[in-house]
Amino acid sequence: MPEPINYDHLADIYDNFVQVNFDIPFFLNAAKECQGEVLELMSGTGRVSIPLAEVGIKLTCVDMSADMLSVLRRKLESRQLSVEIHQANVCELDLGRQFKLILLPFNSFAEILSAEDQLKALKRIFQHLQPGGIFICTLHNPHIRKKSVDGQLHLWGNYPLLEKDGTLLFWVTQHFDPGGYIVNGIEFFEEYDASGILLSKRIVEFSFSLISKEVFEEMAQSVGFKIKTLYGNYSCEEFSDEKSPYLIWLLQK
């Protein structure tokens, strides 16, 4: 079985190459509307967590990577923000209480690779949701995402290093496993100083699953979720299998 990415290997450079914020207004709006405690799963270094905490959302963050959470703690401390943090696997989540809203941003549910573990995670999430509460789960649209899986090596980004004078190059190659629903790949990271001299290079393997609308909907309903809404993007447009980049599920308990 392929393995999901080990984010401990990337925690020190993650914020250099993951700087997207197109989904932040969507999650801010959802958190403000819920008027209750929010649980963010697979929170990483706080790309979504920090904006939520800055507007006063009562937030609990969970991630498996100790190193990613260390970065999150440093960022919270530097901003004088307070968030409850737990290191845990979402498939084994047991916080002993329930939340009004649970978020799983940035297509991260796809990093749970087996159908068995996906079902375990959904059951744990359901248990942590208050009656009437909402779970927002974001996924790639397999029909669209498949188009970028071509087995070739691509330069995905050229980024200035945030804490030193230099540049980070981010290369990716990806391909399907024989079954066609798991994408395996390798990420290459090269750090250069201001004069273009290579300082370091690292290679990280990754895998994620492409989960169809039908498969996810069946799993969610089998756990007890009601499908409240399915959006195709963060502008809340109706999902289209042929055009939408994402499946943004709003599931209710």
Residue range 144-208 forms a domain whose CATH class is mainly beta
Pull the structure tokens for residue 175: 């391909």
Q: Report the pLDDT value the prediction gives residue 179, as an integer from 0 to 100.
A: 80
Arithmetic mean of pLDDT over the chain: 96
**25, 42, 41, 23: which is closest to 33 by C-alpha?**
25
Contact 52, 59 (CB under 8 A): yes
Contact 175, 154 (CB under 8 A): no
Q: pTM to 2 decimals?
A: 0.97
137 Cβ contact list (under 8 Å, min separation 6): 104, 109, 216, 248, 249, 251
**37, 8, 12, 7: which is closest to 191 by C-alpha?**
12
Q: Report the pLDDT value the prediction gives residue 164, as an integer from 0 to 100.
A: 87
Q: How far apart are CA 135 and CA 138, in angstroms?
A: 10
**Which is it for strands 182-193 and 198-209: parallel, antiparallel or unpaired?**
antiparallel
Q: How far apart are CA 67 and CA 55, in angstroms?
A: 25
Q: Report the pLDDT value the prediction gives residue 87, as an integer from 0 to 100.
A: 98
**Which of 55-59, 135-139, 176-180 shows the lowest per-residue confidence on average (mean pLDDT)?**
176-180
Q: Report the pLDDT value the prediction gives residue 4, as an integer from 0 to 100.
A: 78
Mean pLDDT of 49-64: 98
28 Cβ contact list (under 8 Å, min separation 6): 51, 52, 55
User: Beta partners for 193?
Assistant: 166
Q: Return the number of other C-beta atoms located less than 10 Å from residue 23's C-beta.
A: 17
Task: Using only the alpha carbons of the chain, give its radius of gyration.
Answer: 18
For the chain, the structural domain boundaries read: 7-142+210-252, 144-208
Q: Return the number of other C-beta atoms located less than 10 Å from residue 124's C-beta.
A: 20
Q: How far apart are CA 6 and CA 8, in angstroms?
A: 6
Q: How far apart are CA 104 and CA 147, in angstroms?
A: 24
Give residue-wise pLDDT tens across range 113-132. Answer: 999 999 999 999 999 999 99
* CATH architecture, domain defined by 7-142+210-252: 3-Layer(aba) Sandwich (3.40)
Confidence of residue 1 (pLDDT cuts 50, 70, 90): low
Report the share of the chain in percent with pLDDT over 90: 95
CA distances from 150 to 169, 175, 211 (A): 20, 6, 18
Mean pLDDT of 136-153: 96
